[in-house]
Amino acid sequence: MHLKSLTVKGFKSFASATTLRLEPGITCVVGPNGSGKSNVVDAISWVLGEQGAKALRGGKMEDVIFAGTAGRAPLGRAEVTLTIDNTDGALPIDYTEVSITRRMFRSGESEYEINGNQCRLLDIQELLSDSGIGREMHVIVGQGRLDGVLHARPEDRRSFVEEAAGVLKHRKRKEKAIRKLEAMQANLNRLGDLTTELR
Ligand code: ATP
């Protein structure tokens, strides 16, 4: 599985539809300060379901919509499509290519699509949940975050690694299962007491 292309339209500094084709391996985006390199990364976070405006370096979510420049009027909507090569079947869907689209209007209304079919954000989150590229997977490390990771306490650093490796999800499930077992044991004990009383 690899990211194949990213199309942005009306998103931050990208007023016109712009497509970046990504090949397997390392892709570098270079350009002068303020030319929109980080906006490309923000577009990837956003289309994958990012809900926090701060994580996208804005004050409110509407800030992702092209706000206009001296020579160009503001736009009414932002749209990003991320196409993922799924020939290895890493994503649990019967398509060798998967396109995820997110669209947002100034009214605040959002739309999501998988391969052109309208869906819920939850469907996208579920599709990506075991792929390692979903939201909160620490796949995108922003400027300054690396410093934070390097200077984090060992136990915090361990949780970054566990989350990236997909272990955290299983640890949380295990903790939930243990809590359920404990509640079940308490019920069994209570049942035992009642049986003794009734004898
Ligand atoms: P640096 O190298 O300094 O980190 P960069 O290439 O990563 O810069 P970005 O931070 O991606 O640059 O882009 C910043 C530019 O995006 C600014 O010029 C800003 O005005 C523009 N921008 C951000 N949001 C919007 C928006 N909603 N509408 C129009 N332009 C926007």
Q: Which CATH superfamily is domain 2-134 in?
A: P-loop containing nucleotide triphosphate hydrolases (3.40.50.300)
Does residue 149 sit in helix, strand or coil?
helix
Are 39 and 11 spatial neighbours (Cβ–Cβ below 8 Å)? yes
Strand 77-85 relative to strand 18-21, pairing = unpaired
Residues with CB under 6 A from ligand 1: 12-13, 31, 33-39, 63, 65-67
- ipTM value: 0.95
Domain boundaries, the chain: 2-134, 136-165, 172-199
Give pLDDT tens digits along the chain (199 positions): 899 999 999 999 999 999 999 999 999 999 999 999 999 999 999 999 888 888 888 889 899 999 999 999 999 999 999 999 999 998 999 999 999 999 999 998 999 999 999 999 989 988 987 777 765 556 777 777 778 888 999 998 887 787 777 787 788 889 999 999 999 999 999 999 999 999 8
Looking up tokens 């209570």 gives: 190
Residue 33 burial by Cβ neighbours in a 10 Å radius (0-12, 13-18, 19+): exposed
Is the pTM higher than 0.80? The answer reads no
Backbone angles phi, psi at 23, to 5 degrees: -95, 160
- Residue ranges of alpha helices (H) inside the chain are 37-47, 121-128, 145-150, 154-165, 167-198
Nearest residue (CA) to ligand 1, atom 1: 33
